[in-house]
Structure 1
Amino acid sequence: MADHLFDAPLFLKKRHYVQELASLEDVFDLLEDWPEDERDTTFEVLEKACRMAAQGIFPLPAIRENVRRFLIKRHMLANIEEVPILARRQSDQNIGS
């Protein structure tokens, strides 16, 4: 599914951590784990669009935008500034100190 990578990842706020959604496969994992009692029409439409994207029928940038809107609606989209960037912290440290 390497050809199903988003241009830029989305970040999902979970209870105790932030999850990166960087590909269609990540979105399928999210949808698979979504609680059954919270699967509404919006969920079903997104799931169908993802299946169509996997078949090459629906454009991947549109999937990313729909996932972003889905997460915003549920107050689960993490702001990138809220996500700690490990690489930035590591690059600030000198080797040997």
Structure 2
Amino acid sequence: MANTLFDAPLFLKKRHYIQELANLEDVFDFLDDWPEEERDKTYEVLEKACRMAAHGVFPLPAFRENLRRFLIKRHMLANIEEVPIVAKRSTDRNINS
């Protein structure tokens, strides 16, 4: 299997959370969870490109761009500014201390 890590992750808007898509494994999970009744031609092309990228036949940056366009078309691409940053509070304590 070829290198499957994206140069930069994509963030997917789910109903109650943001999901990071950082590599092909994440994308395979995302595609497997896609509802069967919504698996149209666009989905099929994306799934085929994902498999080809996993075998090193399709360039990973080109696949990532196709995935980004798919998410935009479905209104699922999260803007990085929408992703909450969880800052560690200075009052947090380790139980073992």
TM-score using structure 1 length: 0.88
Deviation of 1:3 after TM superposition, in Å, equals 2.3
Distance 2:84 2:74 in 1: 22
Whichever of the two has the greater Rg, that structure is: 2
Deviation of 1:2 after TM superposition, in Å, equals 8.5
Distance 1:2 1:84 in 2: 32
What does 1:37-76 correspond to in 2, within 5 Å? 37-76=37-76
Q: In the TM superposition, what whole-angstrom CA distance separates every residue of 1:12-58 from its partner, at most 9, and x where no partner exists? A: 00000000000011011100000000001100000000111111100
Q: Which runs of 5+ in 1 are unaligned?
A: none
**2:36 aligns to what?**
36
CA RMSD between the two structures: 1.9
Quick check: 2:8–2:22 contact (8 Å CA) kept in 1? yes
Secondary structure of the 2:10 match is strand
Q: Which runs of 5+ in 2 are unaligned?
A: 93-97
Secondary structure of the 1:85 match is coil
Letter in 2 for 1:26: D
Overall identity of the aligned pairs, in %: 78
TM-score using structure 2 length: 0.88
Count of residue pairs brought into register by the alignment: 93
Distance 2:20 2:43 in 1: 19
Deviation of 1:85 after TM superposition, in Å, equals 1.9
Runs of 4+ aligned residues of structure 1 deviating over 6 Å after TM superposition are none
